[in-house]
Amino acid sequence: MFSYTFQWRQAFQKLPLLLDGALVTLQIALLSMAMGIAFAVILAVSRNSRSWWAHAPATAWVEVSRNTPALFQIYMAHFGLGSFGIYLSPYVALLVGITFNNAGYLAETFRGALRAIPATQLRAARSLGMPSIQAFRLIILPQMFRIAFLPTTNQMVWAILMTSLGVTVGMNTDLAGITQDINVRSFRTFEIFAIAAVIYYLIAKAVTLGARLLAARLFRY
């Protein structure tokens, strides 16, 4: 049969280390989502713009981020930029890569949401004397976030799981990095990865739940 002996106790002794890593993972995911959402709003609006200088770079960003592997995007942030003398630490490179990816996907989600809002909403706001930026912020943006809410939580889960790609650029403080570290020292591969997987699962669930609670507070209409 097989000769692997499970050593759960030994693996569980590493739990505090893994939980430290989980915090770093959560931090990167939250930061990359916050920045990704901010960039995505700008991209979505630019994509709807009629001027090519706004439209073209935004389209390029969306095309590249959605149609190339996330792994390559993180690689490029670390090693690619390194070729130009711009050195980003694994942490920053991971953050940049995932933010780039998040923004691209979310931009399309937001663009769809913007289209779902009747143009008459903007006309009504402008008719009340609101300048266009104010009308966008007060009338369009809140409705856009409501429409885009569920797909955005999906992307959030995806962002959490994507952080594990950081291992490939030498990231060793997040959950995946620490798991890999413990694995190469202890060879308790199955146990340590199983525990880490459960932690990823719990983080993702916690974030989804948090998002639902937030939605219940924000969207009362």
Partner 1 sequence: MIEVREVHKSFGALAVLKGVNLNVEKGEVVSVIGSSGSGKSTLLTCINGLEQINSGSILVDGVEVHARTTDLNKLRRKIGIVFQQFNAFPHLTALENVMLAPRKVLGMTKAEAEAIAVTQLSHVGLADKLSIYPGKLSGGQQQRMAIARALAMSPAYMLFDEVTSALDPQLVGEVLDTLKLLANDGTTMICVTHEMSFARDVSDRVAFFHQGVLAEIAPPDQFFNAPQHPRTKEFLSNVR
Tell me the closest approach of the beta carbon of residue 131 to partner 1, in angstroms: 5
Site stretch for partner 1 (CB under 8 A), options 3-11, 29-37, 126-134, 179-187: 126-134
Length of the chain: 221
* Identity of the residue, 122 or 161, whose beta carbon is nearer to partner 1 in the bound complex: 122
**Interaction of residue 125 with partner 1, rule CB under 8 A:** yes
Please compute Rg for the chain using Cα positions: 21
Say if residues 74 and 120 touch (Cβ distance below 8 Å).
no
Distant-in-sequence, close-in-space partners of 108: CB < 8 Å, separation ≥ 6: 44, 62, 66
Stretch that binds partner 1, among 27-35, 83-91, 125-133, 159-167 (CB under 8 A): 125-133
Q: What's the count of helices (H) and strands (E) in the chain, helices before strands?
A: 12, 0
Rule CB under 8 A: say whether 123 interacts with partner 1: yes
Question: Applying CB under 8 A, which part among 107-115, 136-144, 169-177, 192-200 lies near partner 1?
Answer: 136-144
Alpha-carbon distance values, 118 to 89, 113, 125, 190, 213 (Å): 44, 10, 12, 53, 27
Any contact of residue 130 with partner 1 (CB under 8 A)?
yes
Range in contact with partner 1 (rule: CB under 8 A) among 2-10, 66-74, 141-149, 188-196: 141-149
96: closest CA among 162, 151, 21, 174? 162
Is residue 221 close enough to count as binding partner 1 by CB under 8 A?
Answer: yes
Residues that bind partner 1 (CB under 8 A): 118, 120-121, 123-131, 134, 138-139, 142-143, 146, 219-221
